[in-house]
Amino acid sequence: MVFAGGSCRGAGDGDGLKLDPCRFAVRVVRGRWFMLFSSFLIMAAAGATYIFSIYSKDIKASLGYDQSTLNTLSFFKDLGANVGVVSGLINEVTPPWVVLAMGAGMNLFGYLMIYLAITGRTAPPHVWLMCLYICVGANSQTFANTGALVTCVKNFPESRGIVLGLLKGFVGLSGAIMTQLYYAIYGDDSKSLVLLIAWLPAAISVVFVHTIRIMKVETQGKTPKPFFCFLYISIALATYLLIAIVIEKKVTFSHSEFGISAAVVMLLLLLPLAVVVKEEFRIFRQTKQDLQNPQPLAITVEKPSPPEPLPLPESKQSPTTATAGTKHKNPVVSCVGDMFRPPDRGEDYSILQALVSIDMIILFFATICGVGGTLTAIDNMGQIGESLGYPKRSIATFVSLISIWNYAGRVASGFASEIFLTKYKFPRPLMLTAVLLLSCVGHLLIAFGVSNSLYLASVVIGFCFGAQWPLLFAIISEIFGLKYYSTLYNFGGVASPIGSYILNVRVAGYLYDREALKQNNGVRRPNGTDLTCIGVECYKLSFIIITAVTVLGALVSLVLVWRTKDFYKGDIYAKFREQMAAAEIDVAAGNFSLDRIDGEEEATQKKKNATSQDEEDEVVVNGNVSAASHMLSSMRTECSHLRYFCGHHPFLEVNHMKGNLTLHHLPASVIQRRTNQSPVDDAQENPAMTLPCAGSRPVSV
């Protein structure tokens, strides 16, 4: 039998849903697509750590630091930018706006104190204090990532690879974006760049802080078209930035010309807002059509499962049972036992279960090998170009190529892995293995110093560095669940400074200095001056070792591919579709109010329902009238049980008129007077039929 829902008062009478501009604007701002757009802007300003080289010379000159001290400062910058476990733990117990607000405050404090120090507005701080300032300022990047990126993944669980690729892509472009804005606002004053880094990301986070929130998961089916629109816009932005950087290296721009260039960048950054408005208008029209032509509601009849036996009182338990219960309640034993008994892959792991998981250990080791190697190449690209005899202009081109292809790798791996996974069940860990092997090509080009090969090496290294991050974070979310994703996401990022320290400081740095000493006949330069090495041998052994370590990481990642092959062959998004189906059943069961209805209208509607006790809403029942009449006529005295479970207002009375059955939704006071029975008594006397109700167990009526 099928119940066909009738009209819903106040929502669907012909033109009941009219496009009010003010209410539509509120709908857009409160929608999940605007939330994604806000995250784009936050991410586009969250890459201040990538332009440290522009203002590092001001820190060195203003405070009288030598190169060793500046490198120490750079290490604390990287440490703060990648260790975000604190922000993850805070996000577990607070809403995203708290994390974003804290990040904005940290960003403003850290970089503003650095700006005051290098401009002489405060007394020169101690080195440890400068390290603290830059670590706090850089750590704000992890708060922005946790507050915005993690929230977007939870709101779009079926497109997490695409979401991660887009957001991480904007982080990759943020350095180039900030540089264009800095030239337009402050000209060539690199000290003022630190001031821009201090206030702009903080201001963007504060403006959009309340739009970033966890929202109800919605059905999306195939990859929604807005994602592809966002992709095309971001590609246009990256292409423009690349062209602008190349032209600026060859032509001297005036301040007004930099302003025009920055205006184009801002236009491309705001262009996704048009996609958001268009998508929300499409959803509005679809909602209006659904309310005017509601889908039929199906009723399923099934036998209720027998009730579970009640636990014995403590006084009646045997001594053996009581002892076992006492042991089971020991929190330390229970915690340790649960830590080594993880759930199935794809379910929600606890933090400890994930950290001691073999899958996490394998993934973490592979990331140390892969990210550590590519990050070493990126950090040393200037010295690599110098040692191989490239001019300074070419070295600047290498940095720009790395930035743009870093973006390309992030977006490509996010979209490609999602498409391959959905269509061909191609596991993400196997794609991570392929990226690691591809990066070995760039490492070998650097190691052997092939003529003019550094251009291609920059492209390969930048692409592979960017591609690893969306894959890493998507794999963590898929294997270990989303419940504690904010903490596990930031734990995955810890692999970056570990790999950088081992391969950059202990391997590349040590071997570079050793070769430089050989070229200088063992004579050390005075403190505060550079020790320069020229020739292929400067980095040859370093990058052969890095290549070997990366191959080892790729082989280890194949173990993860083998362990998760059955998991990725299945439907890893099934549970999210079940949640969406439950929400759709809730709508079909009679809850015809819009999810995003204006709060004032909702309050008025509730008040109207409470005061008008004799007013009735009608739902027409079509189908086999005789069978329906036999089943539904017995519901007059049992309908209060439906309210007891569902929490709606569906007290029913059945009338047979003109070949149809009409169900009247009656107020609670009326049905109580007519039945004079409690909900529990009804359930015990009439357990014959169940009616599915979203959000609760089947209802016995």
Model confidence over 93-118: pLDDT tens digits? 999 999 999 999 999 999 999 999 99
What pLDDT, on the 0 to 100 scale, is given for residue 330?
Answer: 65
* Distance (Å, whole) CA 150 – CA 626: 54
* Distance (Å, whole) CA 31 – CA 17: 17
Q: Would you place residue 350 in the very low, low, confident or very high pLDDT band (cuts 50, 70, 90)?
A: very high
* Structure tokens belonging to residue 667: 């107020």
What pLDDT, on the 0 to 100 scale, is given for residue 688?
Answer: 35
Tokens 């995003």 belong to residue: 596
Listed residue (157, 187, 153) closest to 43, CA to CA: 153
Mean pLDDT of 351-363: 94
Residue 685 pLDDT greater than 80, yes or no: no
Cβ-contact 507, 595 below 8 angstroms: no
Residue 126 pLDDT greater than 60, yes or no: yes
What pLDDT, on the 0 to 100 scale, is given for residue 160?
Answer: 87
Task: Give the bridge partners for 664, in sequence order.
Answer: 618, 653
Residue 395 pLDDT greater than 60, yes or no: yes
Cβ-contact 168, 108 below 8 angstroms: no
Residue 256 pLDDT greater than 80, yes or no: yes
Task: Give the bridge partners for 339, in sequence order.
Answer: none
DSSP SS3 for 647:
coil
* Distance (Å, whole) CA 264 – CA 261: 5
Q: Mean pLDDT check: name the lowest of 9-13, 102-106, 688-692.
A: 688-692
Residue 675 pLDDT greater than 50, yes or no: no
Mean pLDDT of 216-225: 70
What pLDDT, on the 0 to 100 scale, is given for residue 490?
Answer: 87
What pLDDT, on the 0 to 100 scale, is given for residue 48?
Answer: 80
Distances 167 to 149, 263, 272 between C-alpha atoms, Å: 7, 22, 13
Residue 444 pLDDT greater than 70, yes or no: yes
The DSSP 8-state label assigned to residue 206 in this structure reads H
Q: How far is CA 210 from the centre of its chain?
A: 16
Residue 30 pLDDT greater than 70, yes or no: yes
* Distance (Å, whole) CA 638 – CA 679: 8
CA dihedral 244, 247, 248, 249 (to 10 degrees): 130
* Distance (Å, whole) CA 528 – CA 72: 13
Q: How far is CA 144 from the centre of its chain?
A: 11
* Structure tokens belonging to residue 133: 């300032």
Mean pLDDT of 135-153: 92
What pLDDT, on the 0 to 100 scale, is given for residue 379?
Answer: 77
Residue 596 pLDDT greater than 80, yes or no: no
The DSSP 8-state label assigned to residue 608 in this structure reads H
Listed residue (405, 411, 401) closest to 232, CA to CA: 411
What pLDDT, on the 0 to 100 scale, is given for residue 10?
Answer: 41
* Distance (Å, whole) CA 438 – CA 698: 53
Count CA within 13 A, CB hemisphere, residue 650: 23
Q: What phi and psi, each to the nearest 5 degrees, are found at residue 330? A: -60, 115
**Maximum mean pLDDT: which of 451-460, 591-600, 621-630, 669-678:** 451-460
* Distance (Å, whole) CA 66 – CA 60: 7
Distances 32 to 36, 253, 668 between C-alpha atoms, Å: 6, 40, 36
CA dihedral 383, 387, 390, 391 (to 10 degrees): 70
* Distance (Å, whole) CA 148 – CA 218: 19
Amino acid at 505: V
Q: What is the mean pLDDT of the chain?
A: 77
Q: Inter-axis angle of helices 160-186 and 454-480, to 10 degrees? A: 130
Residue 297 pLDDT greater than 70, yes or no: no
Residue 37 pLDDT greater than 80, yes or no: yes
Mean pLDDT of 587-592: 45
Q: Would you place residue 450 in the very low, low, confident or very high pLDDT band (cuts 50, 70, 90)?
A: confident
**Maximum mean pLDDT: which of 214-223, 291-300, 529-538, 628-637:** 529-538
Q: Inter-axis angle of helices 358-379 and 485-493, to 10 degrees? A: 50
CA R_g for the chain = 31
Taking only the tens place, the pLDDT of each residue in 41-93 is 999 998 888 777 778 878 888 888 876 677 778 778 888 988 888 999 999 99
What pLDDT, on the 0 to 100 scale, is given for residue 659?
Answer: 41
Q: Mean pLDDT check: name the lowest of 65-69, 93-97, 318-322, 466-470.
A: 318-322
User: For residue 598, what are the contacts with CB-CB under 8 A and spacing of at least 6?
Assistant: 23, 26
Listed residue (367, 394, 315, 307) closest to 553, CA to CA: 367
What pLDDT, on the 0 to 100 scale, is given for residue 221?
Answer: 56
Count CA within 13 A, CB hemisphere, residue 56: 19
What pLDDT, on the 0 to 100 scale, is given for residue 585?
Answer: 55
Mean pLDDT of 259-278: 95
Note the pTM of the prediction, 2 decimals: 0.69
User: Could you tell me which residue, 151 or 624, shows the higher pLDDT?
Assistant: 151
Q: Would you place residue 567 in the very low, low, confident or very high pLDDT band (cuts 50, 70, 90)?
A: very high
What letters, b where the CB count within 10 A reaches 16 and e where it falls short, cover 401-416? Answer: bbbbbbbbbbbbbbbb
What letters, b where the CB count within 10 A reaches 16 and e where it falls short, cover 573-591? Answer: beebbeebeebebbbbbbb
The DSSP 8-state label assigned to residue 637 in this structure reads T
H-only helix segments in 156-224: 160-186, 190-207
Residue percentage of the chain with pLDDT more than 90:
39
Residue percentage of the chain with pLDDT more than 70:
70
Taking only the tens place, the pLDDT of each residue in 146-200 is 999 999 999 888 888 899 999 999 998 888 888 889 889 988 788 888 999 999 9
